[in-house]
Structure 1
Amino acid sequence: MADKDERGRAGEDRAAAHLHARGWRILDRNWRCPIGEIDIVAEQGRDLIVVEVKTRRSEAYGHPFAAVDERKRRRLWKLARAWCLAHPDLAHARVLRLDLIGIIGDDPAVAALEHLEDLR
Protein backbone atom coordinates (compact mmCIF):
# COMPACT_ATOMS: atom_id res chain seq x y z
CA MET A 1 0.00 0.00 0.00
CA ALA A 2 1.50 3.30 -1.05
CA ASP A 3 0.18 5.76 1.52
CA LYS A 4 -2.10 6.25 4.52
CA ASP A 5 -4.99 7.63 2.42
CA GLU A 6 -4.86 4.68 0.03
CA ARG A 7 -4.78 2.23 2.98
CA GLY A 8 -7.75 4.02 4.55
CA ARG A 9 -9.77 3.84 1.32
CA ALA A 10 -8.95 0.14 0.95
CA GLY A 11 -10.06 -0.44 4.54
CA GLU A 12 -13.32 1.39 3.95
CA ASP A 13 -13.92 -0.68 0.80
CA ARG A 14 -13.34 -3.86 2.83
CA ALA A 15 -15.68 -2.64 5.58
CA ALA A 16 -18.41 -1.79 3.07
CA ALA A 17 -18.06 -5.24 1.47
CA HIS A 18 -18.29 -6.84 4.94
CA LEU A 19 -21.50 -4.95 5.72
CA HIS A 20 -23.00 -5.69 2.29
CA ALA A 21 -22.23 -9.41 2.75
CA ARG A 22 -24.20 -9.28 6.02
CA GLY A 23 -27.21 -7.96 4.12
CA TRP A 24 -26.81 -4.31 5.08
CA ARG A 25 -27.59 -1.57 2.60
CA ILE A 26 -24.93 1.11 2.19
CA LEU A 27 -26.63 4.51 2.03
CA ASP A 28 -23.62 6.81 1.93
CA ARG A 29 -19.82 6.77 1.98
CA ASN A 30 -17.38 9.52 2.87
CA TRP A 31 -20.18 12.01 3.57
CA ARG A 32 -18.78 15.40 4.49
CA CYS A 33 -20.16 18.45 6.21
CA PRO A 34 -18.51 21.43 7.95
CA ILE A 35 -17.85 19.45 11.15
CA GLY A 36 -16.25 16.40 9.56
CA GLU A 37 -16.74 13.20 7.63
CA ILE A 38 -18.61 9.93 8.11
CA ASP A 39 -16.93 6.88 6.60
CA ILE A 40 -20.08 4.80 6.01
CA VAL A 41 -23.80 5.19 6.64
CA ALA A 42 -25.74 1.95 6.36
CA GLU A 43 -29.11 0.47 7.21
CA GLN A 44 -29.94 -2.83 8.80
CA GLY A 45 -33.66 -3.32 9.12
CA ARG A 46 -34.96 -0.19 10.88
CA ASP A 47 -31.52 0.72 12.25
CA LEU A 48 -29.52 3.53 10.72
CA ILE A 49 -25.84 2.94 11.43
CA VAL A 50 -22.92 5.35 11.23
CA VAL A 51 -19.77 3.26 10.79
CA GLU A 52 -16.29 4.54 11.64
CA VAL A 53 -13.52 2.52 10.00
CA LYS A 54 -9.98 2.42 11.38
CA THR A 55 -7.33 0.62 9.33
CA ARG A 56 -3.90 -0.16 10.75
CA ARG A 57 -0.89 -2.09 9.51
CA SER A 58 -0.36 -3.53 13.02
CA GLU A 59 -1.21 -2.95 16.67
CA ALA A 60 2.23 -1.41 17.33
CA TYR A 61 0.56 1.87 18.28
CA GLY A 62 -2.53 0.28 19.81
CA HIS A 63 -5.70 -1.36 18.59
CA PRO A 64 -7.66 0.64 15.98
CA PHE A 65 -10.62 0.94 18.37
CA ALA A 66 -8.40 2.81 20.86
CA ALA A 67 -8.29 5.70 18.37
CA VAL A 68 -11.99 6.33 19.02
CA ASP A 69 -11.97 8.02 22.39
CA GLU A 70 -14.86 9.86 24.10
CA ARG A 71 -14.15 13.07 22.18
CA LYS A 72 -14.22 11.22 18.85
CA ARG A 73 -17.45 9.40 19.84
CA ARG A 74 -19.15 12.72 20.64
CA ARG A 75 -18.03 14.09 17.27
CA LEU A 76 -19.34 10.99 15.46
CA TRP A 77 -22.73 11.37 17.17
CA LYS A 78 -22.84 15.03 16.06
CA LEU A 79 -21.99 13.96 12.52
CA ALA A 80 -24.70 11.28 12.67
CA ARG A 81 -27.29 13.87 13.67
CA ALA A 82 -26.06 16.21 10.91
CA TRP A 83 -26.44 13.40 8.36
CA CYS A 84 -29.98 12.73 9.59
CA LEU A 85 -30.89 16.43 9.24
CA ALA A 86 -29.45 16.46 5.72
CA HIS A 87 -31.32 13.25 4.76
CA PRO A 88 -34.70 13.40 6.53
CA ASP A 89 -36.33 11.04 4.03
CA LEU A 90 -33.80 8.28 4.88
CA ALA A 91 -33.50 9.03 8.61
CA HIS A 92 -37.18 9.35 9.57
CA ALA A 93 -38.33 7.00 12.38
CA ARG A 94 -35.02 5.16 12.60
CA VAL A 95 -32.99 3.84 15.48
CA LEU A 96 -29.60 5.53 15.16
CA ARG A 97 -26.45 3.78 16.29
CA LEU A 98 -22.69 3.96 15.95
CA ASP A 99 -20.49 0.99 14.96
CA LEU A 100 -16.72 0.65 14.63
CA ILE A 101 -14.81 -1.55 12.23
CA GLY A 102 -11.13 -2.15 12.85
CA ILE A 103 -8.91 -3.68 10.18
CA ILE A 104 -5.40 -4.83 11.07
CA GLY A 105 -2.85 -6.14 8.58
CA ASP A 106 -0.57 -5.30 5.67
CA ASP A 107 -3.26 -5.74 3.00
CA PRO A 108 -6.69 -4.39 4.04
CA ALA A 109 -8.37 -6.66 1.49
CA VAL A 110 -7.43 -9.76 3.50
CA ALA A 111 -6.48 -8.33 6.92
CA ALA A 112 -8.22 -9.23 10.17
CA LEU A 113 -11.52 -7.39 10.54
CA GLU A 114 -13.32 -6.71 13.84
CA HIS A 115 -16.79 -5.17 14.02
CA LEU A 116 -17.96 -3.53 17.23
CA GLU A 117 -21.69 -2.88 17.11
CA ASP A 118 -23.69 -0.26 18.97
CA LEU A 119 -20.94 1.85 20.51
CA ARG A 120 -22.28 3.97 23.32
Structure 2
Amino acid sequence: MSLGAQGEEIAANYLKNKGYHVLERNFRCRMGEIDIIACTGRILVFVEVKTRSSQTYGLPCEAVTKTKQLHIRRVAGFYLLKNNMSHIDQRIDVVEILYQGEKAYIRHTENAF
Protein backbone atom coordinates (compact mmCIF):
# COMPACT_ATOMS: atom_id res chain seq x y z
CA MET A 1 0.00 0.00 0.00
CA SER A 2 1.39 3.42 -0.92
CA LEU A 3 2.11 6.09 1.67
CA GLY A 4 -0.83 8.15 0.39
CA ALA A 5 -3.23 5.20 0.57
CA GLN A 6 -2.02 4.43 4.11
CA GLY A 7 -2.64 8.04 5.10
CA GLU A 8 -6.14 8.02 3.63
CA GLU A 9 -6.96 4.83 5.51
CA ILE A 10 -5.71 6.35 8.78
CA ALA A 11 -7.66 9.56 8.11
CA ALA A 12 -10.90 7.68 7.31
CA ASN A 13 -10.61 5.63 10.50
CA TYR A 14 -9.78 8.76 12.50
CA LEU A 15 -12.89 10.52 11.17
CA LYS A 16 -15.09 7.49 11.84
CA ASN A 17 -13.81 7.37 15.42
CA LYS A 18 -14.78 11.04 15.79
CA GLY A 19 -18.33 10.16 14.72
CA TYR A 20 -18.15 11.16 11.06
CA HIS A 21 -19.98 9.07 8.48
CA VAL A 22 -17.74 8.51 5.45
CA LEU A 23 -19.85 8.73 2.30
CA GLU A 24 -17.18 8.38 -0.38
CA ARG A 25 -13.47 7.97 -0.79
CA ASN A 26 -11.42 9.11 -3.77
CA PHE A 27 -14.29 10.85 -5.55
CA ARG A 28 -13.06 11.74 -9.04
CA CYS A 29 -14.31 13.83 -11.88
CA ARG A 30 -12.59 15.58 -14.78
CA MET A 31 -11.75 18.54 -12.52
CA GLY A 32 -9.86 16.52 -9.94
CA GLU A 33 -10.31 14.38 -6.86
CA ILE A 34 -11.44 14.67 -3.27
CA ASP A 35 -9.91 12.14 -0.89
CA ILE A 36 -12.82 11.73 1.54
CA ILE A 37 -16.39 13.01 1.59
CA ALA A 38 -18.04 12.61 4.96
CA CYS A 39 -20.79 14.10 7.08
CA THR A 40 -20.92 15.10 10.69
CA GLY A 41 -24.28 16.12 11.99
CA ARG A 42 -25.85 18.16 9.19
CA ILE A 43 -22.54 19.28 7.67
CA LEU A 44 -21.07 17.74 4.53
CA VAL A 45 -17.29 17.69 4.82
CA PHE A 46 -14.84 17.47 1.93
CA VAL A 47 -11.52 16.21 3.27
CA GLU A 48 -8.08 16.59 1.71
CA VAL A 49 -5.57 14.15 3.18
CA LYS A 50 -1.85 14.87 3.04
CA THR A 51 0.67 12.31 4.23
CA ARG A 52 4.42 12.69 4.66
CA SER A 53 7.11 10.39 6.00
CA SER A 54 9.32 13.32 7.02
CA GLN A 55 9.41 17.10 7.16
CA THR A 56 12.10 17.33 4.48
CA TYR A 57 9.68 19.12 2.16
CA GLY A 58 7.73 20.86 4.92
CA LEU A 59 4.57 19.98 6.78
CA PRO A 60 1.92 17.98 4.95
CA CYS A 61 -0.52 20.93 4.96
CA GLU A 62 1.98 23.04 3.03
CA ALA A 63 1.28 20.83 -0.01
CA VAL A 64 -2.29 22.18 -0.14
CA THR A 65 -1.42 25.10 -2.39
CA LYS A 66 -3.79 27.79 -3.66
CA THR A 67 -4.05 25.85 -6.93
CA LYS A 68 -4.91 22.64 -5.07
CA GLN A 69 -7.51 24.54 -3.01
CA LEU A 70 -9.13 25.82 -6.21
CA HIS A 71 -9.33 22.28 -7.63
CA ILE A 72 -10.87 20.96 -4.41
CA ARG A 73 -13.47 23.75 -4.40
CA ARG A 74 -14.38 23.00 -8.02
CA VAL A 75 -14.71 19.27 -7.40
CA ALA A 76 -16.77 19.93 -4.27
CA GLY A 77 -19.05 22.23 -6.25
CA PHE A 78 -19.49 19.57 -8.93
CA TYR A 79 -20.29 16.94 -6.28
CA LEU A 80 -22.91 19.21 -4.70
CA LEU A 81 -24.60 19.90 -8.05
CA LYS A 82 -24.44 16.27 -9.19
CA ASN A 83 -26.07 15.09 -5.98
CA ASN A 84 -28.53 18.01 -5.65
CA MET A 85 -26.95 18.98 -2.32
CA SER A 86 -26.18 22.67 -2.90
CA HIS A 87 -28.51 23.62 -0.05
CA ILE A 88 -26.54 21.58 2.53
CA ASP A 89 -24.02 23.22 4.86
CA GLN A 90 -20.50 22.20 3.91
CA ARG A 91 -16.88 22.82 4.67
CA ILE A 92 -13.43 21.71 3.56
CA ASP A 93 -11.08 20.11 6.06
CA VAL A 94 -7.47 19.00 5.84
CA VAL A 95 -6.20 15.93 7.67
CA GLU A 96 -2.42 15.74 7.90
CA ILE A 97 -0.60 12.50 8.62
CA LEU A 98 3.07 12.81 9.54
CA TYR A 99 5.07 9.66 10.15
CA GLN A 100 7.96 9.81 12.57
CA GLY A 101 9.45 6.35 12.59
CA GLU A 102 6.58 3.88 12.90
CA LYS A 103 4.28 6.38 14.63
CA ALA A 104 1.74 8.38 12.64
CA TYR A 105 0.73 11.80 13.99
CA ILE A 106 -2.61 13.23 12.92
CA ARG A 107 -3.66 16.87 12.72
CA HIS A 108 -7.22 17.68 11.64
CA THR A 109 -7.92 21.25 10.56
CA GLU A 110 -11.64 21.96 10.21
CA ASN A 111 -12.76 24.58 7.70
CA ALA A 112 -9.16 24.81 6.47
CA PHE A 113 -9.86 27.18 3.58
Match of 2:71 among 64, 72, 75: 75
Match of 2:96 among 95, 102, 108: 102
Comparing 93-102 with 17-26, which one deviates more in the overlay?
Answer: 93-102
Which blocks of at least 5 consecutive residues in structure 1 are unaligned?
none
Q: Which has the higher strand share?
A: 2
* 2:41 aligned with 1:45: yes
Match of 1:12 among 8, 22, 28: 8
**Residue 96 of structure 2 aligns to which amino acid in structure 1?**
G
Moved over 2 A (4+): none
Q: What CA distance in whole angstroms lies between the structure 1 residues aligned with 2:39 and 2:112?
A: 16
Q: What CA distance in whole angstroms lies between the structure 2 residues aligned with 1:92 and 1:45?
A: 16
3-state SS of paired residue (1:119): coil
Which blocks of at least 5 consecutive residues in structure 2 are unaligned?
none
Q: What CA distance in whole angstroms lies between the structure 2 residues aligned with 1:92 and 1:75?
A: 18
* 2:107 aligned with 1:111: no
TM-score, normalised on structure 2?
0.92
String of CA shifts for 1:58-109, please: whole Å, max 9, x gaps: 1111001001121211111111011112222xx25311110001101155xx
**Residue 29 of structure 1 aligns to which amino acid in structure 2?**
R
Aligned residue pair count: 112
Q: What CA distance in whole angstroms lies between the structure 1 residues aligned with 2:70 and 2:31?
A: 12
CA RMSD after TM alignment = 1.4
